[in-house]
Every structure is written in C-alpha cells, then in structure tokens.
Amino acid sequence: MKAYIGRLIKITAFTNSEFGKKLEKLKESLNEATDRVNKLGDTGKEHVATVTKMREDFGTGGRVMELLRADSRAVIDQIVTEGQITREVVRGERETQGTYTCDFYVTEFSHWVGAGVRHYSRLWYIDQSKTYLKGRVGFGKDKTMDVWLVHGRYPHVVGLAGQTGGRRVRVSVAVVRQTGTGDNWELGSKVVNFDETAISVRCDGWECAGGYRVASAVSCDEMYTRGLVDGGNKVLFRYTITVL
C-alpha cells in the first residue's frame, strides 16, 4: 500500500511539473501574441497618422496645394514678363540696363532646411547676354545652402541654336531683410560669362543645371540668427547682375 501511495505521489508530482512547464509556455506564447497585437496597433496608428497628414497636405490649405499654386503663379509671372518684353521689342522701346536687380523668394523656408532639394527662381532675361538666367538655391542635408546663377534656357532641350558671344557679367547675391532693422547678408560675388554652346549635354536645366556657384556652405541656422527669415517663413535672395 505504501509503495502504491509513493508511486501515486511521484506520478502526481511529475504531472504537476509537466503542467507547470506547459502553463509557462502558454504564458510566454500569450505574452508574445500580446506584444504582436500591440505592435500591430502601434503600426496601425502610425499608418492612420500618415494618411491623415497626406490628406492635410493635399487639402485646400495643404502643403502640396500651396506648392501647386506657387508653380501656377510662376507660370503667370513668366507669361506677363514675356508679353512685356515682346511689346517693347515690337515697338522699338526696349532699353537695355547696365544693372539688373532680380529677386528670388524661397517660400516655406523651414520645410527645405536639411531636405537635400533645389529651388529655382523665375527666368531673368539679360539683353547683353542674349539669353535667360535664373537663380538656384540648393539645400544640403547638413543644413547649409549653395547659391548659384545658372542658365535659364537649354537650347539642346528645346531644339534651338545656342547663343554665344554674350557680355561678361558680375553677379552679386545678398539675402535681404524684409522686416525690421539690420543689415542684409552679402553672400558673394563672381564675374562670369554665359555661353549656351558650352552647356553640357547632361544638363536639362532642372535635375542638372549649368552655371556658376556664387556662395557655398551658407548656414541655414544663421538665417534665423540674423533675422532674415520673415514671419511668413520666406527668405529673399537678391541677385544683382551688372554687365561689364
């Protein structure tokens, strides 16, 4: 009888031990499942937040729509400019300037800091150079900017003959204070000569633009320190192009 009870005790102890192990594994599996559910929930919240942000960007007052409106304004500005130049030429009223002052506004400035993107100005027609030029600001991922004056027309892209023999020009670029008091920030100056026949075939004017760098490694943080970013999150780069 005692032997039977002993065996029963051993069997019960073994059964309890096995049951305990299975219970621990069940708990582990349950915890893992709970973690996966929580992660799925977090991922779902992230996706919802992303979709919400996209809807806001594409909404009437969103960032994407604002960029589209800015592009539309640029096209309208260019049409008005071309109309004025054409009228002056046809009427024989076109007078060349010795110095051209060309303003380049970079809007939504804080969005582009560190983004690794490029922005281009309107096209500027320089009579003595017989072609168009434009400003370019490239935002580096290190929160600095490079400032360029580049060709505005790429003859091989639009099937035109390239202009050559234009006059040399001196280009100076400054960041202009739009509100308050204080000095403008003079970024640099360079003497250049734009010859369309020398444009590299790899340049399409947008992804790759040919021209001259006027200033490099310009600190975006210093724009704020100097108070040159206005309340509308806009920075004004003024190009002064003097024909030599």
Under the banding of pLDDT at 50, 70 and 90, the label for residue 86 is confident
Calpha distance 79→238 (Å, rounded): 22
Which has more pLDDT, 177 or 51?
177
pLDDT recorded at residue 29: 74
pLDDT recorded at residue 50: 66
- Determine the average pLDDT of the residues in 124-130: 88
Establish if 231 belongs to a structural domain.
yes
> Is 179 a residue whose pLDDT tops 90?
no
Calpha distance 59→54 (Å, rounded): 8
Establish if 134 belongs to a structural domain.
yes
pLDDT recorded at residue 36: 76
> Is 232 a residue whose pLDDT tops 80?
yes
Range of the domain at 209: 96-243
Which CATH number characterizes residue 210's domain? Answer: 2.60.210.10
Helices (H), the chain: 2-58, 63-90, 109-112, 155-158, 220-225
Under the banding of pLDDT at 50, 70 and 90, the label for residue 213 is very high
pLDDT recorded at residue 167: 81
Mean pLDDT of the chain: 82
Q: Which of 167, 6, 184 is nearest to 98 (CA)?
A: 167
Tokens 């003024």 map to which residue? Answer: 238
Establish if 163 belongs to a structural domain.
yes
Establish if 194 belongs to a structural domain.
yes
pTM of the complete model: 0.72
pLDDT per residue as tens digits for the range 181-211: 789 999 999 999 988 888 889 999 888 999 9
Which has more pLDDT, 171 or 45?
171
Calpha distance 147→143 (Å, rounded): 13
- What are phi and psi for residue 145, nearest 5 degrees? -130, 150
Which has more pLDDT, 21 or 219?
219
Establish if 101 belongs to a structural domain.
yes
Q: Which two tokens stand for residue 211?
A: 């021209």
The answer to whether residues 202 and 161 touch, using CB atoms and an 8 Å cutoff, is no
Establish if 28 belongs to a structural domain.
no
Half-sphere exposure of residue 174, counting CA atoms within 13 Å on the CB side? 10
Question: How many structural domains comprise the chain?
Answer: 1
The end-to-end CA distance of the chain, in Å, is 120
Establish if 150 belongs to a structural domain.
yes
Calpha distance 172→117 (Å, rounded): 22
Burial of residue 22, with CB atoms counted within 10 A of its CB: 0-12 exposed, 13-18 middle, 19 or more buried: exposed
**From residue 16, how far is each of 7, 23, 28 by CA, in Å?**
14, 10, 18
Length of the chain: 244
Eight-class DSSP state of 233: S
Which has more pLDDT, 55 or 84?
84
* Coil vs helix vs strand at 21: helix
> Is 156 a residue whose pLDDT tops 80?
yes
> Is 168 a residue whose pLDDT tops 60?
yes
The answer to whether residues 176 and 236 touch, using CB atoms and an 8 Å cutoff, is yes
Establish if 18 belongs to a structural domain.
no
Eight-class DSSP state of 14: H
Q: Which of 99-103, 121-125, 196-200, 231-235 has the lowest mean pLDDT?
A: 196-200
